[in-house]
Structure 1
Amino acid sequence: MLETLFASTLTDTLTLSTTLNVIFTSLIMGLFISIVYIKTQGRDGYSPGFTITLIMLPAIIAIIILLVGNNIAQAFSLAGAFSLIRFRSAPGNPIDISYVFFTLAVGLACGMGYIAYGIIFAIMLCVVMVILSITKYAKPKIRNMQLKITIPEDLDYQDCFDDILQHYTQSYKIQRVKTSDFGALFEIVYTLCLKEDINQKEFIDKLRCRNGNLSIVLNTEIINEKIYI
């Protein structure tokens, strides 16, 4: 019974009912993964376009696998067609990229006819994602921030903001210093952790008075890991 349940549903001849079954199952599982993604990433924010992509990807991969089948010539033809497309993507959140591979794997399972495997795989990984989100696994209790301050060249960057930073932050460290505008300006990059219940506008206003009202950028989250696809 179990062997029949987990066997491939595809036959040598591709029928309309089999194709529709695979496509609709892929879309349903993509929708399920997308809902789990929204629920687990809601606090950190997410792109609406990315959630739609999670729905479409399993069906797209399943269709490609159905078209290729065991035909080597068709496989090379599709590979050549996709090689003409130039994909561009900015560095993304590692969690988002893991969801992309997740949906690709589900689409492959459905396209090969192993729908039961795809359903079990999707449910198990979604349960894991929900558990990790609820337990806040590996999330630091203290959120680091990145501060970029532009100062004129005649201002000593080494200790000019120490008194302000000591008052408003729990810890801080100079991460990088670089020049701009042919050496007329310096850009200092700090990694810091603000104290609780600190007024960020007041903190930035203090810095503006010190750096001559030049550019100040406060990034509220630092992503240390970057993955390129």
Structure 2
Amino acid sequence: MLNSFFHGLFDTDMTSVISVSDFLLCIGCSLLIGLILAFGYMYRSRCTKSFLVTLALLPTVVCVVIMMVNGNVGAGVAVAGAFSLVRFRSVPGTGKEITMLFLGMGAGLIAGMGYLGFALLFTVIMIALVILYNRLSFGTTKSAALYKTLNITIPEDLDYTGVFDGILSRYTTSCELVRVKTTNMGSMFHLTYNLTLQDATKEKEMIDKLRCRNGNLEVSVSKQETSAAEL
């Protein structure tokens, strides 16, 4: 009775059935892989609890799906079609988060095929590279501190077209007016520039010059952020 409980209703003599011990072994290996991925991603990275839980369980889910459709072409095509209909209704992820999800899916797929050693080896190698790149600050440029976003408020009677070009050309290598917005019931303009500073140490000097030009109204300089839609 117990043995028949783990057999499919539509199994035939030509169908190979996974033993319970092999099933549990693959599940345990996939859970271990998920934990390795989650702990590796936490190293010098800001992350949410929900993403870590997802990353820890994703290899197991993929592993089970692959084990169930292993050798069955029709079921494999059906599962692929079902996955193609899934839409993730969440905020766009970064390139690093998407990469970790693909790593989890890849490791789970290898484990589901029964190659547990290769799955663990693949996971350890990739997590070691992730930790190494984070430790070396791979991809971080020294000029990142020069990219700034300038927000400045001016009165409505001041023509914002080229009003700050002289000052900005003195302290920046490039500047671009990316946004103009009215504020305070239309009595003021709020301008947003993307700047590349010549020298980060002269930022305060530039702000003082801008304050003299805009009548000592609000001026703010912040780190220039990459658009959320970009990877």
TM over 0.5: yes
> CA shift at 1:95, angstroms?
1.7
Give the distance between the partners of 1:28 and 1:207, measured in 2 at CA: 58
Question: Is residue 138 from structure 1 mapped to residue 139 from structure 2 by the alignment?
Answer: yes
Question: Is residue 102 from structure 1 mapped to residue 103 from structure 2 by the alignment?
Answer: yes
2:38 pairs with one of 34, 48, 51: 34
Q: 1:154 to 1:127 in 2, by over 3 A?
A: same
What amino acid does structure 2 have at the position aligned with 1:14?
A: I
> CA shift at 1:211, angstroms?
7.5
Deviating 4+ runs (over 6 angstroms): none
Rg (Cα) greater in structure:
2
2:28 pairs with one of 24, 30, 35: 24
What amino acid does structure 2 have at the position aligned with 1:187?
A: L
Q: Which has the higher contact order (CA 8 A, sep 6+)?
A: 1
2:88 corresponds to which residue? 87
Question: Is residue 113 from structure 1 mapped to residue 114 from structure 2 by the alignment?
Answer: yes
> CA shift at 1:86, angstroms?
2.6
1:17-76 residue CA offsets vs partner (Å, 9 max, x unmatched): 2122111211111111111111132xxx22232222211111111111112212223223
Give the distance between the partners of 1:67 and 1:217, measured in 2 at CA: 57
1:179-223 residue CA offsets vs partner (Å, 9 max, x unmatched): 446xx6463322345835978xxx69x769937857x77553533
1:222 corresponds to which residue? 225
SS in 1 for 2:142: coil
Give the distance between the partners of 2:21 and 2:155, measured in 1 at CA: 70
Is contact 2:63-2:112 (8 Å) kept?
Answer: yes
What amino acid does structure 1 have at the position aligned with 2:88?
A: F
Runs of 5+ consecutive residues of structure 1 not aligned to the other structure = 1-10
> CA shift at 1:161, angstroms?
7.9
2:58 corresponds to which residue? 57
2:17 pairs with one of 13, 31, 37: 13
Give the distance between the partners of 2:117 and 2:179, measured in 1 at CA: 56
1:160 corresponds to which residue? 164
What amino acid does structure 1 have at the position aligned with 2:101?
A: V
Question: Is residue 126 from structure 1 mapped to residue 127 from structure 2 by the alignment?
Answer: yes
Give the distance between the partners of 1:151 and 1:212, measured in 2 at CA: 9
Give the distance between the partners of 1:150 and 1:27, measured in 2 at CA: 54
SS in 2 for 1:126: helix
Q: 1:147 to 1:110 in 2, by over 3 A?
A: farther
Give the distance between the partners of 1:75 and 1:112, measured in 2 at CA: 13
Give the distance between the partners of 1:99 and 1:150, measured in 2 at CA: 42
CA RMSD of aligned residues (A): 3.6
What amino acid does structure 1 have at the position aligned with 2:193?
A: V
> CA shift at 1:149, angstroms?
3.9
What TM-score do you get using the length of structure 1 for normalisation?
0.70
Q: 1:47 to 1:161 in 2, by over 3 A?
A: farther
Is contact 1:161-1:207 (8 Å) kept?
Answer: no
Q: 1:213 to 1:121 in 2, by over 3 A?
A: same
Runs of 5+ consecutive residues of structure 2 not aligned to the other structure = 1-14
Give the distance between the partners of 2:203 and 2:109, measured in 1 at CA: 50
Question: Is residue 187 from structure 1 mapped to residue 188 from structure 2 by the alignment?
Answer: no
